Chains A and B, each alone.
Chain A
Amino acid sequence: MKLNVNDREVVIDADPAMPVLWALRDIIGLTGTKFGCGVAQCGACTVHLDGEAVRSCITPISDAAGKKLTTIEAATDGTDRIGAAVHAAWLKHDVAQCGYCQSGQIMSAVAFLKSLPPGQQPTPDKIDAAMAGNICRCGTYARIRAAVADAARTLA
């Protein structure tokens, strides 16, 4: 299988039905994407497929072929304007506690902010709706809200 991961061509020998999550973690060695539930209920495994947030735990690698797969490592490496703004807001608000779900939270936030029309500031309800698929058992939600709103402001 040929995959485009973070703008890099990766060739792996794997069953096409293997979820993207396990190809990333166990074969490619990108462990920033997390396993939380395995059934698309917690969002810890969120990655971008052609810019869209998807749950990598239920997305087979065959669905990723021919598309651009982006993981947390690339989204927050400073090269993506929106990813950098979200990363900075996460630091400013000291969002993480255990931190395990935060890769997925950030990937959902970045995809959400990318989906907004330029200059539009999201309402609190819109932020909640966009982040509702991501569970944080530590309960960092108040700071997630503040960080997403802050990132949106810095991008305006």
Chain B
Amino acid sequence: MLPNIDYRELPRAAQRLMARSQFDEATTLPRRSFLKLAGVGGLALGAFPHLAMAEAAVGQAASALKPTEQPSAFVQIASNGEVTVTINRLEFGQGVQTALPMILAEELDADWSLVRSRHGSNDAAYLDPRYGIHITGGSNSIKNSFTQYRELGARARAMLLGAAAARWNVDVATLRTEAGAVLGPGGRKLAYGELAEAAMALPVPEKVTLKDPKDFRIIGRPTPRLDARAKSSGRQDFGIDIRLPGQLTAVVARPPVFGARLASVDDGAARAVKGVKAVLRVPLDRGAEGVAVVADGYWQATQGRDALKLQWDTSAVEKVDSERQLAEYRELAARPGPRKLDADMTPLGTAPRQLEAEFVFPYLAHAAMEPLNCTVALTEGRAELWVGSQSAGLDAAAAAGVLDLKPEQVVVQVQMAGGGFGRRFSSTSDIVVEACAIAKAARAAGLNAPLRTLWSREDDMRGGFYRPMHLHRARIGFDEQGKVLAWDHVIVGQSITTGSVFEQFQVKNGIDATATEGMRDPYPLPMRLTVHHPKLNVPVLWWRSVGSTHTAFVMETLLDEIARATKQDPVAYRMDLFGDRHPRHRAALQLAVDKSGYGKQPLPAGRAWGVAVHESFQSVVAYVVEASMKDRQPILHRVTAGVHCNLAVNPRTVEAQVQGAAIMGLSMCLPGSAITLKDGIVEQSNFGDYTVARITDVPEFDIHIVPSAEPPTGMGEPGLPPLAPAFANAIAQLTGKPLRQLPFNLA
């Protein structure tokens, strides 16, 4: 999600962002506390410092260690030996809830059968140790916290050893640890549970020695998820399942067009619905207005909402129309604009072979299975939020702004989330801001109860924050050997990081790096890349694998087309371009080729191979797929993957992430996988008119990981980008016609 973060600058950028307020000037939401935040400073930004203070009480403050380095915030060992590891990320399917404890348990020498896991909060301990903000995104969780969690485990282990040495009155050098126990001379043994209390009173060592990776017992071993049992029996609580005494539920009537305000409200019938407690006019994200219906439960609230008679004033707001938008994007593509890459295009005129192509990608909704929700409990001078948040600190600061509180008066309890794919980190904290605005209005109306704001599926599907629509245009000159002589490329699409905490790193020279990530590299191609970022009122956001959702498709299908046009094998063609400078790409592709039988094993009649390889978030995934056409519809039969993510902490999760990301990539190809607008109104509303892959769409998988001992890179996203182009390349092989649109258009 974030190609160009300067992690030293990110906390300051977050401060500036909050200082200038995340709210539209038109709203009446207070902004005073955002300004106050500037005084909080440094890494404690947006955090609730109770844990840091607790640590001071047990003498840890004397240490030079940051909160992110203090074991007490991350590992608790109960007297029965249970080890509970707190994760500094949101678990929403990607498996960090298991992988982070694995990393810590490795260096702790824990008994894995006694390891548990829990979520953190917006406490300073749970900042990303490199970026200095609370963040789950960019496939960074394992990459950025690998060393952090190893050191945390090693520190806790050193303290346990110290406690045992004191207990037995022996030199610590005579002791060793194994599976949750300290072993001493003469067969002495003390379980961690017996030592934990004494150990936690000891000073925290700053320097620790980490294991040699060849001694890993837990890291690298395919490990079942810690949450598997709860998630296979209905016993896992998600944010939506929080039930506090007296809790009420709110649903919001949102404007039909982004940013519209109310012209009139007749709420007589809504107030008469049994169970409805209040009907509140509330400010919404981006200067819009809405009506919140607060009731005993969700169903009563929706009954109330259905009974509202509302008139909207849409006269002053932009009404985007997808067809007109495409025509405008085409016009824009023909104009000069800022250039990300600027190779000499002279050879275009004289190149022996020419290729011109236009690609269109629609808006896409994240459509996570758990509908968006946030529960807020307000008491005097304090707010507690329960929300599946990818950005607990920024969300807390935004909540403080709405509620007229200081950031340290807001606690965000991060909840297990039912998917997210980027939607649970919005640039405006819209989910949390709206829930807090409603809770504040409800309290002002005399309702002193915890309030859960819950979105319907329709609210989510029509609520914006989409992967932006994009138009790509390419004009390529190449020779008979397939050597590209000049590649003139244009991208048109909204910028997703403008207005977000990442703007100052991602937007340079008017070009948002997230729109161009995945273009050209690693191929040594002479490319001129022009980028246009039109401004529209449709909210846009990162969406699993971000820019690579479209750039990988463009690059990998065009290169395949050049290979086909010059009668070259698409694998050999790519290998030649990688040369010896991209060994990870080569290794991933070769593994997929070898395991698939590509080029060796004959395919059943009517099937064709398709190949694509793409690096995103520093991991490389190569797919070799088998596809066919049936009744004029493309069918994906088999996917063989070669994955290079350096050391795979939990290979079983890596396999799951590749399968899942590939299926999300497959979804992009299916008819109906598009968000479109007509006269400002989103035309889709639910899973009936917005397609996501079902089990009947799904191929067989065979996933292989390139062995490596290098520090891990992330795997939440990189499995997505190469799926659609590999599938498209196989279909183009069969039909002779390239696919240049997602979802696939075979017309």
Which residues of chain A are near B224, meaning CB under 8 Å? 91, 94
Question: How long is the Cα–Cα vector from A34 to B237 in the complex, in angstroms?
Answer: 10
Instruction: Tell me the complex Cα distance, A102–B93, Å.
Output: 12
Bound-complex Cα distance A138 to B734 (A): 30
B residues within 8 A CB of A72? 233-234
- A102 neighbours in B (Cβ, 8 Å): 231-232
Known: A22-B299, A143-B656. A97 touches B94 (CB 8 A): yes
0 or 1 for each of A28-47: is its CB under 8 Å from B? (1 = yes): 01111111111101101000
B234 close to A42 (CB less than 8 A) = no
Complex CA gap A141/B365 in Å reads: 20
A-B contact pairs, 19 of them (CB 8 A): A15-B274, A19-B299, A25-B297, A25-B298, A36-B369, A36-B457, A39-B688, A41-B688, A72-B234, A73-B235, A87-B232, A91-B224, A91-B228, A97-B93, A98-B91, A134-B694, A137-B421, A139-B661, A140-B660
> When chains A and B are docked, how far (Å) is the Cα of A97 from the Cα of B457?
20
B417 within 8 A of A: yes
A91 and B664 within 8 A (CB) = no
**A:5-39 near B, CB below 8 Å:** 15, 18-19, 22, 25-27, 29-39
With A34-B370, A91-B224 as given contacts, are A99 and B418 in contact (CB-CB < 8 Å)? yes
User: Contact: A139 with B228, CB < 8 Å?
Assistant: no
- In the bound assembly, the distance between CA atoms of A137 and B693 in angstroms comes to 8
Is A3's beta carbon under 8 Å from chain B?
no
Secondary structure of the A side of the interface?
Answer: loop
Question: For chain A residues 126-151, which have a beta carbon within 8 Å of chain B?
Answer: 128-129, 131-132, 134-145
A41 touches B687 (CB 8 A): yes
Does B238 count as interface, using CB distance less than 8 angstroms? yes
User: What residue of chain A has the Cβ atom nearest to residue B660's Cβ?
Assistant: A139
The interface residues of chain A lying within 8 Å CB-to-CB of B296 are 26
Residue of A nearest to B454 (CB): A35
Residues in A whose Cβ lies below 8 Å from that of B404 = none
Q: Does B131 sit at the interface, judged by CB under 8 A?
A: no
Q: Which residues of A contact B657 (CB under 8 A)?
A: 97
> Given the complex, which residues of A lie within 8 Å of B367, measured CB to CB?
137
Q: Which residue of the partner chain B has the closest CB to A21?
A: B299
Specify which of B228, B233, B369, B701 is in contact with A136 (CB 8 Å cutoff).
Answer: B369
Q: How many chain A residues touch B (Cβ–Cβ < 8 Å)?
A: 56
A81 to chain B, nearest CB (A): 16
**Assembled-state Cα–Cα distance A29/B245 (Å):** 12
| B243 at the binding interface (Cβ < 8 Å) | yes
Q: What is the CA–CA distance of A36 and B418 in the complex, to the nearest angstrom?
A: 10
A29 CA to B297 CA, complexed, in Å? 12
Among A132, A135, A139, residue most surrounded by chain B Cβ atoms (within 10 Å): A139
New contact pairs (17) apart from A35-B298, A73-B235, A139-B659, CB-CB < 8 Å: A19-B299, A27-B297, A32-B235, A38-B456, A38-B686, A72-B233, A90-B228, A94-B224, A96-B225, A99-B416, A99-B418, A106-B232, A132-B695, A132-B696, A135-B694, A138-B369, A138-B419
- Supposing A38-B456, A139-B661, A140-B656 touch, asked if A99 and B236 sit within 8 A by C-beta, the answer is yes
B20 to chain A, nearest CB (A): 34
Q: Would B695 and A128 count as touching, CB distance under 8 A?
A: yes
Q: Assess the B234–A103 pair: CB atoms within 8 A.
A: yes
- What chain A residues lie within 8 Å of B228 (beta carbons)? 90-91, 94-96
Q: Does A101 contact B (CB under 8 A)?
A: yes
Chain A positions within 8 Å of B, measured between CB atoms, are 15, 18-19, 22, 25-27, 29-39, 41-42, 44, 71-73, 76-77, 87, 90-91, 94-103, 106, 128-129, 131-132, 134-145
Cβ contact within 8 Å between B233 and A73: yes
Bound Cα distance from A41 to B298, whole angstroms: 19
CB distance from B736 to the nearest CB of A (A): 30
Q: Does B34 contact A (CB under 8 A)?
A: no
Nearest 7 pairs between A and B by C-beta? A32-B234, A100-B418, A139-B663, A99-B231, A98-B93, A72-B234, A26-B297
Whole-angstrom distance between the alpha carbons of A33 and B660 in the complex? 23
B92 contacts the other chain (CB 8 A): yes
How far, in whole Å, are A131 and B299 apart by their CA atoms in the complex?
Answer: 27
Interface size of B by Cβ–Cβ distance < 8 Å? 62
Considering only CB atoms, which chain A residue lies closest to B421 in the complex? A137
Contact B419 A96 (CB under 8 A): no
Inside 8 A of B93's CB, which chain A residues have their CB? Answer: 97-99, 138
A98 near B418: Cβ-Cβ < 8 Å: yes
Q: Is B652 an interface residue (CB 8 A)?
A: yes
A42 to B367, CA, bound (A): 11
Quick one: given A131-B695, A141-B663, are A31 and B688 in contact (CB under 8 Å)?
A: no
A29 touches B243 (CB 8 A): yes
Tell me which of A29, A97, A141 has the highest count of chain B C-beta atoms within 10 A of its own C-beta. A97
Chain A residues whose C-beta falls within 8 Å of the C-beta of B238 in the assembled complex? 100
**B664: nearest chain-A partner, CB-CB:** A139
A103 to B662, CA, bound (A): 23
Are the CB atoms of A98 and B232 closer together than 8 Å?
Answer: no
Instruction: Evaluate whether A94 and B419 lie within 8 angstroms (CB atoms) in the complex, with A41-B686, A100-B238 already known.
Output: no
Nearest CB in chain B: distance from A47 CB, A: 10
Distance in angstroms between the alpha carbons of A101 and B240 in the assembled complex: 13
B700 smallest CB distance to A (angstroms)? 7
Q: Which listed residue, A30, A91, A99, A142, touches B659 by the CB 8 Å rule?
A: A142
CB distance from B9 to the nearest CB of A (A): 32
In the assembled complex, the Cα of A76 lies from the Cα of B234 at a distance in Å of: 8
A30, A42, A44, A145: which has the most chain B beta carbons within 10 Å?
A: A42
Residues 448-466 of B at the A interface (beta carbon under 8 Å): 456-458
Whether B227 sits at the interface, judged by CB under 8 Å, is: yes
**Which of B95, B230, B458 meets A97, CB within 8 Å?**
B95
B243, closest chain A residue (CB):
A29
CB-CB nearest in chain B for A23 = B299
- Bound: A49/B367 CA distance, A: 28
- List CB contacts (< 8 Å) of B669-705 with chain A: 686-688, 692-696, 698, 700-701
Known: A39-B688, A94-B225, A100-B238. A139 touches B232 (CB 8 A): no
Q: Does B29 sit within 8 A of A, measured CB to CB?
A: no
